[in-house]
Each structure stands twice: as C-alpha cells, then as structure tokens.
Amino acid sequence: MGLFSPFREARRRRILERLPIVDELWAWAITEHKIFRWLGQPDRSRLRELSTVFLAEKLFDPVGGVELSEELKVSIASQACLPLLGLDLDWYSDWSTIIVTPREYDRRGSQVSMRHDESYGIVQALIERGVIGDFRAPNIARFGFTPLYLRYVDVYDAVEILAEVMTSEAYRDQKFATRNAVT
C-alpha cells in the first residue's frame, strides 16, 4: 500500500457518491453486453463501481469522427473493468487516455490503442513476454483483438502480463531505449 493510497481511496469513494452511473444506463450496459449476464449481483455491483471510477479517472479521446455518447463511454469502461473484478483499478493507473475509434471496421481495425509516454518500451517488454503489440509514434501502444484465435483467458493473461510490466517498470530497461524501425 503506497503513501497516497488512503487519499486515492477517499477520492474514489467521493467519485462513487457524487458521480454514479445512472440506473437506466447501467441496466442498458448489462443488457447490451451478453458477457455480463453471467455475473452474479455482487460482481455486477463491483463492476459498476470499477466502471464509475474508470469513467472519472480516464480521458476519452474520440478519433475519426466518433460521437462520444454516455452509452459508449459506459460500454468501454465496463468492458475494460471486467478483467479487474477481483483486482483493483490501479492496474490501469499508468493509462490516462482511452482512444475511441470508429465502429466501422474499414475505418479503424481490430485493436485497442492506448497512450503512454513509455509506449515503445512497454510494447517491447510485452513482446519479450509473449504478448504481441505494436508501437505507433509518438506514444501509442496497439493490441489486436481477433475472436477467431483469441480467447477470454488470452486477454486476461495479457492484462496480467501488462500489469507485471507496469508494476515492475520492466519497460524502463535500457535494452528498450533504442527504437527499432519495426516493432
């Protein structure tokens, strides 16, 4: 537990009190995403809390003409928080911006992109551990999601490896300081 943990927890409690996801919007998210239907009420409540704090702590950056609705933001937040049900949002603490791309495949691709000042090193450290991603200058890490060959457990494992890379700061290793032409 870090020095600032009590302050962070107090801030997050205030977020939950002051900025809750409205009931109608949360009911829509549960209905819209079939994967949430198998969750029991305690897990749904935890997911709602995590999603609420995620929405307050992250900046959403729509690109390619995306209209950023409350439904879209809650959809993204709830899906991002699902792998963290038994964990904590601190796993995402180094990620501040969610880049929202168009739904149409030919306008975006099948990846999740995240900004971080050390994205190059993060991608290289992940590749070294078997998680394939790529880097786009100046600070974008991209990860492909294809249901044809990825399973839920693969995504979960990748998030665990990402968390390990971030907490250990493995991405700061000197061997990742020099950028290759291709990631």
pTM: 0.59
Give residue-wise pLDDT tens across range 28-47.
Answer: 999 998 888 889 999 999 99
Give residue-wise pLDDT tens across range 55-79.
Answer: 998 989 887 788 899 999 999 999 9
Cis previous bond, 42, omega within 30: no
Q: How far apart are the first and last CA of the chain?
A: 35
| Cα angle, residue 158 at apex, residues 56 and 99 outer, rounded to 5° | 40
Alpha-carbon distances, residue 71 vs 26, 29, 32, 34, 48 (angstroms): 9, 8, 10, 15, 14
SS (H, E, C) 60-103: EEECCCCCCCHHHHHHHHHHHHHHHCCCCHHHHCCCCEEEECCC
Amino acid letter for position 44: R
55 neighbors 70 (Cβ within 8 angstroms): no
30 neighbors 44 (Cβ within 8 angstroms): yes
Three-state DSSP class for residue 53:
helix
How confident is the model at residue 65, as a pLDDT? 81
